[in-house]
Structure 1
């Protein structure tokens, strides 16, 4: 029927005019298809199974995070998805649907709000106490990686809205901090630091480095070289610029650059501590909590930053269309064809995250062409081919063309490592200073949380006495 209709339409004009019309519209369709294919970007082709692996997934109920969640679940991994609020019936229902569709019962959700260091601390304490899946003897439950996805959960924005006021975290004591900054920078730092003893113990028995995947906004590229200052993240500071309400992507870009810098510093410190530990291994039988006191295997953690690219969810959050704002709604509807054409869907944005989580690691003996008989190992412990072997082939003959190979501390976009001019002009001491400042901030917030707990306990203890007096 479609062919008959097409023949009838073309027969209305001369053969030459009909062919010209067909070529014109065919070329337009081919151009749209080509642009859409290009906009999809990197596609993860790794087929590794993750049975027996355990991952924490932050933002697992956001758009991109849900795609990562579904893919890891289908590969057999145990996943603990962190949600910023108490689990609602809709989140529980979604979790049950994921279990059913992936045939994986080892999918869980826990409350943990990255804008609240108290919530992070409470989650870590619960994990140390209750997470006993797969434990041996008196050992703590292990982790094989943490994935941070933008958008903490259902209803949480993935980007800052144009013209909106800055949102502030509610339980930071006497200090005020941006909710966006806490969720993308300080909260991630706090979670990794509080889980560090567990991560390092897990790394000691792992066949490959534990991966800490940090997703960042693509607006890091909007920051001009020489204009990045971590001190500008605090918009309440006397010498800091005002919050850019009309250009929120600049605020996102500053946080993204600070996050990449913090992750680089994390990798540098872990690698330095691992080298020192290998040179002088500790014989202590205790379980110390400080990084410098823990016996570290060689390069136990792999800290990576990943930019998923420009997503439809982030653009929708920027414009914030609603019936209460007719102009924003009209702009969104008018621009939607371009958004659909050039921006990524959630599944497409998740491909870069999966590639960083599953890709082979550069700098192994296989990459150096060693002939000592040692084989490079992937995240699942399987052997991977040496670089000197057949090009584009694994040890089992599988094609590896176009797959990611990751390097410690690097930023990846569309499956490739990218250089950031804005960070190239930053002094090397800035990363260490940012790390120290974030660590001190976390310590202050933990003290504030402890004081709040003490006040609540005192109030609960005095409440029965006051009631007896009233009687």
Structure 2
């Protein structure tokens, strides 16, 4: 059949092809759309690496880019530890179980580590470091990010920090610096990689060493991308300084450091964060997003396409021979345009300033937390005391009721709760007295009859 059609087209021309008029009209347009879609999907990673038995900590692994990465690494047999806000979630349990069943990989876990809470991050890191024997760690991939839409008021974290700065920069800073002893302690032949994610919004960021945690500054609700971009800019600067500080501490066994920190730009994607930003966090905005979804489908990557550069950063063998602090996009190393990435002194000052502010915020949060716990404990004790007094009062009232019921029994009848003598017999003093009075009356009656 196809051969006959092709033969007819050769002899008689393409007009004999069924539906030729439609192909002629819409074919060029579809070809252009297909070409744009293919170009915008980005580069695909071609490196392969055996990940069976390797352990990776992943932030933001339940949605968007992180979920796609978790699905890919789980299929490759890696052991994954997903850091989540709360493990008391039925949906999370089903999500983990579905991943295990789908890939026959039962080494997928979730542990509580809320990046918006410095206390939660410290609890997780302390638990990880205190484990005996020390836990294996082949890498940390930080994909979690918070993006607020246009026009929304400022949102604060538990510690009072602006939420985008708290999650995108401060939370990852705190997590990695606390885990640095575990990263350094891995055996020499282990290729340990730390991946941070960024985006082009870092070009719109404004660095302020006096307030790196965005505590005092006023939130620009009409330009939320500047705050988001600043958090990503700070994260990239932190990556370069963190790599230098890791290299500055020699290993006790004299082996070269085997930890590499790199920053990946996955590109523009149709992720949940993108949807929230483009829809302005409103129902009407969501309707507009759905209207323009076909255009976004052409020009924006899917999450599965966005993880290709992350996979490249995890699997390419060349990075272990480089110094780290590299920026990766489209499965290749690139040089950021901003001058701050070439200023080592600025990066050091930002690292130190952030460390100082985090210490102050942690102390203040600890004081408030202890105070709240003391107030809660005191209110609980007061509540328990009132309940105890109420129960005691109700018991006394019930005893009085029982006494009244006992005393109100009719004469000559056995009470509901009779008193017993030492032999176990019912005391019947009152009924006896009644019987004696009756007998006396009877005697008197008999004497009266005799007279």
Which of 175, 189, 192 is equivalent to 1:210?
A: 192
- Deviation at residue 254 of structure 1 after TM alignment: 1.5
Distance 1:161 1:296 in 2: 49
1:244 is matched with: 220
Distance 2:71 2:94 in 1: 14
The Cα offsets for residues 246-297 of structure 1, whole Å up to 9 and x where unpaired, read as 33222222211111001100011111223xx5xxx5xxxxxxxxxxxxx774
User: How many residues were matched structurally?
Assistant: 382
2:306 is matched with: 349
- Deviation at residue 343 of structure 1 after TM alignment: 0.8
- The change in CA–CA distance for 1:260 and 1:462 in structure 2 (over 3 A counts) is same
Q: Quick check: 336-345 or 456-465, which moved more?
A: 456-465
Please report the TM-score for the alignment, with normalisation by the length of structure 2.
0.75
Distance 1:108 1:246 in 2: 39
Between Structure 1 and Structure 2, the one with more helix by share is 2
1:146 is matched with: 140
Which of 315, 332, 343 is equivalent to 2:274?
A: 315
Consecutive unaligned residues of structure 1, counting only runs of 5 or more, are 132-137, 152-157, 282-294, 365-405
- The change in CA–CA distance for 1:29 and 1:461 in structure 2 (over 3 A counts) is closer
Q: Quick check: 65-74 or 448-457, which moved more?
A: 448-457
2:162 is matched with: 178
1:91 is matched with: 92
The Cα offsets for residues 269-326 of structure 1, whole Å up to 9 and x where unpaired, read as 111223xx5xxx5xxxxxxxxxxxxx7742332111111111112331112367x642
After superposition, residues 28-39 of structure 1 pair within 5 angstroms as 28-39=29-40
- The change in CA–CA distance for 1:425 and 1:268 in structure 2 (over 3 A counts) is closer
Which of 155, 172, 188 is equivalent to 1:167?
A: 155
Q: Quick check: 120-129 or 228-237, which moved more?
A: 228-237
- Deviation at residue 190 of structure 1 after TM alignment: 0.7
Q: Is 1:43 the equivalent of 2:44?
A: yes
RMSD of Structure 2 on Structure 1 (CA): 3.4
Q: Is 1:421 the equivalent of 2:403?
A: no
Contact kept? 2:153, 2:221, Cα under 8 Å? yes
Distance 1:31 1:450 in 2: 59
Secondary structure, aligned partner of 2:267: coil
The Cα offsets for residues 79-103 of structure 1, whole Å up to 9 and x where unpaired, read as 1101113431111101000000111
Q: Quick check: 176-185 or 138-147, which moved more?
A: 138-147
Distance 1:81 1:179 in 2: 20
Please report the TM-score for the alignment, with normalisation by the length of structure 1.
0.72
Distance 2:27 2:256 in 1: 57
Which of 292, 302, 316 is equivalent to 1:335?
A: 292
The Cα offsets for residues 165-196 of structure 1, whole Å up to 9 and x where unpaired, read as 121112x1xxx311110111111111112212
Distance 1:118 1:232 in 2: 21
- Deviation at residue 459 of structure 1 after TM alignment: 5.1
Distance 1:59 1:311 in 2: 15
Contact kept? 2:51, 2:77, Cα under 8 Å? yes
Secondary structure, aligned partner of 1:331: helix
- Deviation at residue 331 of structure 1 after TM alignment: 2.6
